[in-house]
Amino acid sequence: MEKEIWKKPLRKCNVGGQALIEGVMMRNGNKMATAVRKTNGEIVVEKTEYIPWSKRVALLKLPVFRGAVAMIESMIIGMKSLMNSAEQVDFEEEEESKFDLFLKKIFGDKFFQVMIYFSVAIALVLGVGLFMLLPNWIAGWFTFDKSTTSGAILANLLEGLIRLTIFFGYILLISKNSEIKRVFEYHGAEHNAIYAYENMEELTPENAIKHTTLHPRCGTAYLFIVIMVSIVLFAFTKWRSPLLNMGIRLLLLPLVSGVAYEILKLSAKTSFKPLRALSYPGLMLQKITTQPPDESQLEVAIAALKAVTEE
């Protein structure tokens, strides 16, 4: 497995993607495409041009800055693609609630766009609350002296361990859901297809399935590095009141995500084993968040990949 993951690819590329509901989204440069399989077996591919924020504003190209904005940008794009894929799949239609009809009356044609940004905002609030603020609150329950330097460092390290525990527990819990398992299979298909492309193989399910589903540039590995970086950076902040602790963590979040992004990029390219070791726990976590796909799922991932790599 390790040989497959760290083997230098024949083709350098920055293709990335995301698993959707019965589909896959792929990005490559300014190109973005989604491929979704409908219940009748048809694969619907939608290709669009998208200019990343880092290409619009020169400042956002700088190290650390680019990682901070990439996290927010990826959440918005990912949520939009996810909701689009849900619309493509022919689920049994349910009667719209009065609340939905009320919102459509207010926002009109912008209803879907408003719901996307609202969903991103809710995801951010829940993510920050569950993985950032809750661990700090729980760590505050412990009664040892946090006013000393050693006590503050210990409290912050304890907070980090609680954060890791919550994160692993969350991933394990959602993996038990059958619909999430399907998404994890499409996640595996996404990685299989990218490996085949990086190795300059013909993009077929037969070639793609030979590869591992674990990839060093995966967002799962990135999330784990974010948590590890937060443990280190927060350990050097003094332990204050719960409100101040929360404020400091929110202010440092862009720095944490930016540093984690640079570490992920370096660890995916370098042969320096200590740096690679930072990605190892995230790769192990991918054993949960990626599952072996079937041929039909690989066909969907390959359709999305071809849309952003072939002229």
Residue 270 has pLDDT above 70, yes or no: yes
Select the highest-mean-pLDDT range: 55-59, 67-71, 188-192, 306-310: 188-192
pLDDT tens for 283-302 read 888 999 999 999 999 999 99
pLDDT tens for 2-26 read 577 878 888 888 898 999 989 999 9
Q: Supply the pLDDT for residue 295.
A: 95
Number of domains into which the chain is organized: 1
Residue 1 has pLDDT above 60, yes or no: no
Q: Which range of residues forms the domain containing residue 208?
A: 2-90+98-309
Determine the average pLDDT of the residues in 78-106.
68
Strand 43-49: give its sheet, edge to edge: 16-20, 23-28, 31-37, 43-49
Count the alpha carbons within 13 Å of 4 in the hemisphere toward its beta carbon: 15
Mean pLDDT of the chain: 85
Dist CA 253 CA 250 (whole Å): 5
| Secondary structure string (H, E, C) spanning 124-169 | HHHHHHHHHHHHHHHHCCCCCCCCCHHHHHHHHHHHHHHHHHHHHH
Q: What pairing do the DSSP bridges indicate for beta strands 43-49 and 31-37?
A: antiparallel
Dist CA 291 CA 286 (whole Å): 8
- Two structure tokens written together for 51: 């200019």
Determine the average pLDDT of the residues in 273-288.
84
Residue 99 has pLDDT above 60, yes or no: no
Q: Supply the pLDDT for residue 95.
A: 57
